Structure 1
Amino acid sequence: MGRDRAARRQPSSTSDAPATGGARSRTTDTGLAELVPDRDRPQAFSLLLDGAPQSHVDLADPTHLGFEYQRRLGHLVDLAAEPGKPIRVLHLGGGALTLARYTAATRPRSRQQVAELDGALTEWVRAELPLPAAWQIKVRGADARAVLERAPEAGTDLVIADVFSGARVPAHCTTLEFAALASRALAPGGRYTANIADGGSLAFARSQVATLLAVFPEVALIADPAVLRGKRFGNLILVAAHTSLPIAELTRRTASDSALGRVEHGRELAAFTGGAAVATDERAAPSPAPPPDTFRHAGR
C-alpha cells in the first residue's frame, strides 16, 4: 500500500544476500519487513510491513506491476508524457521502489527522487532486490512531507504520493497544505497522484477529493466499484492537475485491467464529496485502519 513510518526500532536481519528461494524478513527502523516469493513468478517478491502488503517487484520484468493499485499508478506514469520520454518524478514513500523501477524501465534516463523514512528498509531492499546501476534513482532517508517542502518549485513532472504509516496514510500527508506543496513542485502540465485506502462510508476519501479540489481545478479518482459502494475496504487512486487530465485514455486503460475499476471525474466526482470538509493541518486525521484480517493472506 506504500508507507512512511515514524516509530524507530533497532534493525536486525535474517539474511544479507539477494532474495532467492524462501521468504526473508528483517526488523527495520519502523517495523517487521518481509519479502515473500511469488509462486507464479520465479524472481518476483511481495514486500510486507507488519503484515500489510506494500510492494510487488519482479526482478526479471520491472514493467510487471502485480498489485492493482500499482498498475493504476503505472497508467499515470505511462500518460505523463510521450511513450519512452524521460520525466522527472518525485516518489513520496519508497517501499520496494516498484514504481521507480517501472519508470526507469519504461522511460530510460528519467530522473527520480524517492523519499523513504526507513533507511534500514531501503538498505535491505537494495541488497535483496538490486537496482541496475544505470537507473537514476536517488533515495533520501527522510519524511515525505519534509522532502516535498524542499522540492524545487516547478521542478517535477509527476509527484506520486504512496505514503503509509503501517496501513494508514499519516495525517500530515493528507492536508490542504500538503496538496499545495505538491502543486508548487509540479512543472507546467505536471500531475500529482496519491494512493489512499478507505472503506465503508468513504469519509476519508470524500474529504481527500474535496481537499484536492480546493487546490487543483482537475481531479479524478480511480477505484474498484465495490470500494466506491462501500462494500469493501481497498485502495483508491487520486490524480490532480492544473491542466486537463487524459480521462478517456485513463478510463480505457482502467477498463482493460484484470481488476474491476471505475474512473470518476467532473460533476460525478464533485457530487461524490457529499459536502465533505477540506482537511487542514489543524484538523486532519490519518486514513482509517483496515478491518481485522484484511491482510490475513497477504503475499502468501
Structure 2
Amino acid sequence: MPHAESNSEQFGFVTDERGGVTVMRDGHPQSHVDLADPGLLVFEYVAQLALGIDLLPPGPIGVTHIGGAGLTLARYIQHTRPGSPQIVLEPDAALTEEVRRQLPLPRGHRIRIRPVDGASGLAALRDSSADAVVLDAYDGGRVPADLVTDAALGGFARVLKPGGLALLNLADEPNRRHVARVLAGVAAQWRHQVVLATNDVMKGRRFGNYVVIASNSPIDVDEVRRRAIRLAAPTAVRPGGELRKQARPFTVDDAESSPPPSDSGHWRRS
C-alpha cells in the first residue's frame, strides 16, 4: 500500500512500493513521478498527452505547460527529446519548491518554471514561440473556468507555431456538456481535433478525463488510433466534431469550471 512521505493542508507526496511518487494537491492525485524511469507514465491521461507530443517530428521541441504539479510530462519530454526548451506556468510556488526538493529535475534540463497563473503567463510569451501548448491545470480537482474560454484558447493559439499542437486535459461527467463547450471553442481556433479517453469514460460510464489534440495541420487519426492501442489503459479515439455537436464556446461572461470529480482519489488514477 502507498504511504505518505509528507503532507500539508494543500499538498503531499505518496510513495508506492516500486519507488514511484504520487503528488497530491487539495486531496486529489495530480502527478506520478518515477525518477528512475521518466518514460513510465502511470496516469492514463498523461500517457495520452505524451502520445500527442510524440506525434511531433523527432528532436527538441519548445513546449509551454499550463499547470505543473510534479512536472511528469515535462520530465518525459526532457527524457525523450533532450534539450527541449520548456516553460511551465505554475502559480503554486510552495508546491513547486517542494517538488524540486523531493523530486529533483534531471541534470541538463531546460525546464523553466514561472510562478504565475496560466492567463498571466501566456500573455507574457511571444507569438509562435511553442511547438506545443499543454493545458493540464486543476484547482480543487476542477479545470479553472478562465482557462477554457474562447479568449484563453485564442491565447494558446497565439503562442503556438503554425502547425503546432494544442493538448488539453479536460474532465467531465458522462453527459460531456462541459467538454462539448470546450471543444466548440477549440474548433474555432484549430481546424483539426481528436479526443482520447479510456473506453469506459468515452462510453459515458463514468466521470473522467478527456485529452484533446488540436492543430491547424491535419492529424492522422489512424496513426493516433494505432498508438493508442499500445497504451496500458484501453483507450478510445474520436474526432472532436463527434463530441462537440451543437455546443457553444465558453466566453468570459459565462465560463464554468469543469464539474467536480465524483470519486476523489480514484477518477484520475490509472
Write the distance in 1 (CA, Å) between the matches of 2:190 and 2:152. 12
Write the distance in 1 (CA, Å) between the matches of 2:176 and 2:158. 28
Report if the CA contact (8 A) 2:166-2:215 is conserved.
yes
- For structure 1, the 5+ residue unaligned runs are 1-20
Is 1:69 matched with 2:45? yes
Write the distance in 2 (CA, Å) between the matches of 1:110 and 1:196. 25
Shift of 1:50: 1.9
Write the distance in 1 (CA, Å) between the matches of 2:267 and 2:73. 23
Greater gyration radius: 1
Report if the CA contact (8 A) 1:86-1:107 is conserved.
yes
Quote the residue 1:47 is aligned against: 23
Given residue 226 of structure 2, which amino acid in structure 1 is its aligned partner? Answer: R
Quote the residue 2:231 is aligned against: 257
Write the distance in 2 (CA, Å) between the matches of 1:214 and 1:96. 31
Counterpart of 1:178 (choices 152, 155, 160) is: 152
Report if the CA contact (8 A) 1:199-1:231 is conserved.
no
SS in 2 for 1:99: helix
Given the two structures, how large is their TM-score scaled by the length of structure 2?
Answer: 0.95
Shift of 1:245: 1.3
- Structure 2 matches for 1:137-216, cutoff 5 A? 137-216=111-190
Percent sequence identity over aligned pairs: 36
Counterpart of 2:5 (choices 14, 21, 24) is: 24
Write the distance in 2 (CA, Å) between the matches of 1:294 and 1:123. 25
Given the two structures, how large is their TM-score scaled by the length of structure 1?
Answer: 0.85
Quote the residue 1:274 is aligned against: 245
Write the distance in 2 (CA, Å) between the matches of 1:129 and 1:255. 31
Counterpart of 1:37 (choices 2, 7, 15) is: 15
Shift of 1:133: 3.0
Q: Deviations over 1:155-210 (max 9, x none)?
A: 10010110111200010001111111111111122111110111121100111111
SS in 2 for 1:221: strand
Shift of 1:55: 0.3
Given residue 216 of structure 2, which amino acid in structure 1 is its aligned partner? Answer: H
Q: Using a 3 Å threshold, how does the CA distance of structure 1 residues 297 and 185 change in structure 2: closer, same or farther?
A: closer
SS in 2 for 1:251: helix
Counterpart of 2:62 (choices 88, 109, 118) is: 88
Shift of 1:228: 2.2
Report if the CA contact (8 A) 1:153-1:185 is conserved.
yes
Regions of 4+ moved over 4 Å: 296-299
Write the distance in 1 (CA, Å) between the matches of 2:141 and 2:155. 23
Shift of 1:24: 2.1
Is 1:290 matched with 2:261? yes
Report if the CA contact (8 A) 2:207-2:267 is conserved.
no
Cα RMSD after superposing both structures:
1.7
Report if the CA contact (8 A) 1:208-1:279 is conserved.
yes
Q: Deviations over 1:63-93 (max 9, x none)?
A: 11111001011111211222xx000000110
Give the paired residue count.
268
Shift of 1:296: 5.8
Shift of 1:297: 9.5
Quote the residue 2:55 is aligned against: 79
Quote the residue 1:5 is aligned against: none
SS in 1 for 2:133: strand
SS in 1 for 2:189: coil
Quote the residue 1:125 is aligned against: 99
- For structure 2, the 5+ residue unaligned runs are none
Report if the CA contact (8 A) 1:51-1:298 is conserved.
no
Report if the CA contact (8 A) 2:127-2:158 is conserved.
yes
Q: Deviations over 1:212-234 (max 9, x none)?
A: 01111111111123212321011
